[in-house]
Amino acid sequence: MKKKYSFLSILIAFTIACFFLFGCDHKHDHKQKGKSPAEKHDHGHHHTAKYGGALVALGDHFAHGEILLDKSNGKVTFYVLDGEVEKSIRLEQKEITLLVSSVNDKEIAFSLNLEAVESELTGEKIGDTSQFEGSSPELINAKMFEAQIKSILIKGSSFAEVHFHFPKGNEGDHDDHDHDDHDHNHDH
């Protein structure tokens, strides 16, 4: 004798089969609901420095600065890069000022002016460049320093008093600052 399957049992079997075939594409995070408020504020990913320096996040993936230090002569090189740390962003700005507050864990206060750099290789000129350089005898043989970017204007967005540590950078420290301490918008 043949068994007859009810319409309801066929419908349930079809629904289960569809769920396994089409129900979950694994493109989302099943654990998101269990995250703490600090973890939910995490901006997703971190970047690798293009030139091997310290990354300074400017806005929420809007742009980055990359800082390199030549310890032998105290020369600092600052590159302005896009939010994904892939492409250079040229600025009209002729100078970027760093306000240094400590070197090798010793409190010291001085300004370091980074001047715009021309490059025949890239065609960059003063007032249209992504590279800035300056030096200070206080940074000779420095292993670390702490500073702020006084102000920088990138694609019409102004960033002021951007704090960072060298060689760490600030990308992992995004939650350590008050979102009202600088004049750009966050989209959270």
Q: Which of 11-15, 23-27, 49-53, 170-174 has the lowest mean pLDDT?
A: 23-27
Percentage of residues of the chain with pLDDT beyond 90: 64
pLDDT of res. 47: 86
Question: Can you say how many angstroms the Cα of residue 85 is from the centroid of all Cα atoms in its chain?
Answer: 8
- What per-residue confidence (pLDDT) applies to 3? 55
The reported pLDDT for the residue numbered 46 is 75
pLDDT at 61: 84
Q: What is the pLDDT of residues 86-123, one digit of tens each?
A: 999 999 999 999 999 999 999 999 999 999 999 999 99
* pLDDT tens, position by position, 24-62: 444 333 333 333 333 333 445 678 999 999 999 999 889
Name the range with the highest mean pLDDT among 31-45, 69-83, 167-181.
69-83
Please provide the average confidence, as pLDDT, over all residues in the chain.
Answer: 80
Q: In angstroms, what CA-CA distances link 17 with 159, 176, 181?
A: 53, 47, 53
Under a CB-based contact definition with an 8 Å cutoff, are residues 115 and 124 in contact? no
Write down the pLDDT at residue 7. Answer: 59
**Encoded tokens for 167:** 């060689």
Q: What is the structure's pLDDT at 60?
A: 87
**β partners of residue 91:** 129
What is the predicted pLDDT for the residue at 10? 61
SS (H, E, C) the chain: CCCCCCHHHHHHHHHHHHHHHHCCCCCCCCCHHHCCHHHHCCCCCCCCCCCCCEEEEECCCCEEEEEEEECCCCEEEEEEEECCCCCECCECCCEEEEEEEEECCEEEEEEEEEEECCECCCCEECCEECEEEEECHHHCCCCCEEEEEEEEEECCEEEEEEEEEECCECHHHHHHCCCCCCCCCCCC
* Cβ atoms of residues 49 and 66 within 8 Å: yes
* Predicted confidence (pLDDT) per residue in 115-144, tens digit: 999 999 999 999 999 999 999 999 999 999
